[in-house]
Amino acid sequence: MNTVGVIGLGVMGAPMAANLVKAGYDVIGYNRSPGPVERLVAAGGRAATGVPDVAARADAVLTVLPDSPDVEEVALGADGVLRHARDGLLLVDFSTIRPETSRAVAEAARKAGARPLDAPVSGGERGAIEGALSIMVGGRKEDFAAAKPLFDAVGRTVVHVGGDGAGQTVKAANQMIVGGVIAVVSEALILLEASGVPTGSALTVLKGGLAGNQVMNVKGDSMLARSFEPGFRIDLHHKDLGIALAVARATGVTTPLTGIVAQLLTAARARGLGSLDHSALLLLVEELAGRAPAREGRA
């Protein structure tokens, strides 16, 4: 397995493709806009003319796409991967999508002679750049074993979590936790500011105790600085919590806190904050506290 195709060279896909190049793979990239492809070529990869070209040339195809309809189109469409794939192709979807979509793609892939895995990731842009992503993988164990060297090139924590769609279910749980932590960290920071406590010192000591968490470690300082350059956009986290709530409904599980966070993200999007990093939920919490007006679109 030497030639790897990557479809979707966005915030996450581009650094993942670059890390595969660094690991010695022959990487073929395709993206709807040409700029990311040109940057991949400059980093040592190769350009593809489209999805069929990637599928026909690659031993493994990795998709890093925004949502379920995008994955369906790229994998199952008339010019999709499965129409042009080699027999035995590894089809690894790093996107965060509905578990039922992953299961449908897996069924179609096996009928076409491909080996599917759903492998959503956590760690944000920083994790993608550093090759330190957490990857939760659903699918058959033997296919996971075949793809493990690819996962090791882009991730640090790589775990096979179950059958088709299991990776997406674990990712839904991941996004529930991350969203809830961002919300409560936002509330805590606004409380500290309103109380006149030096927030930098407070953040330092909070990071060292039981309250310490990755949101504060990675995003705490930028939240205090009101800097929200997107590593993972509010729009995408809103989509992900919709998936989590759908899974909860299908399984009969009550998730009241996730429902509240989802509503906060909806309100943030309505205020024009959807393109900012999900830590910009702080701006909505700040507004609700009467501390400042919503700063629409501020990065």
Q: Which domains does the chain have, with CATH numbers?
A: 3-164 (3.40.50.720), 169-288 (1.10.1040.10)
Q: What pLDDT, in 10s, does the model give residues 41-70?
A: 999 999 999 999 999 999 999 999 999 999
Which residue type sits at 15? P
Q: Give the model's confidence band at 292: pLDDT under 50 very low, under 70 low, under 90 confident, else very high.
A: confident
Pairing of strands 60-63, 90-93: parallel
Helices (H) and strands (E) in the chain, counts: 14, 9
Q: Cβ distance 128 to 121 under 8 Å?
A: yes
What is the arithmetic mean of pLDDT over 107-136?
96
pLDDT at 298 over 70: no
**Residue 31, CA distances (Å) to 6, 36, 42, 79, 215 in order:** 9, 7, 15, 15, 30
Q: Cβ distance 95 to 135 under 8 Å?
A: no
Higher-pLDDT residue of 1, 30: 30
Which residue type sits at 135? I
What value does the mean pLDDT of the chain take? 95
What is the arithmetic mean of pLDDT over 155-171?
98
Active-site residues, by number, are 171
Cα angle 243, 121, 57 (rounded to 5 degrees) comes to: 110
HSE (side-chain half, CA atoms, 13 Å) at 48: 25
What is the arithmetic mean of pLDDT over 249-262?
97
pTM: 0.92
**Positive/negative CA dihedral, 68, 58, 9, 53:** negative
pLDDT at 201 over 90: yes
What is the Cα–Cα distance from 7 to 64, expressed in whole angstroms? 6
Pairing of strands 155-162, 133-139: parallel
pLDDT at position 137, please? 98
Q: Give the model's confidence band at 293: pLDDT under 50 very low, under 70 low, under 90 confident, else very high.
A: low
pLDDT at 296 over 60: no
What is the arithmetic mean of pLDDT over 33-47?
97
Among 55, 26, 60, 56, smallest CA distance to 43 is for 26
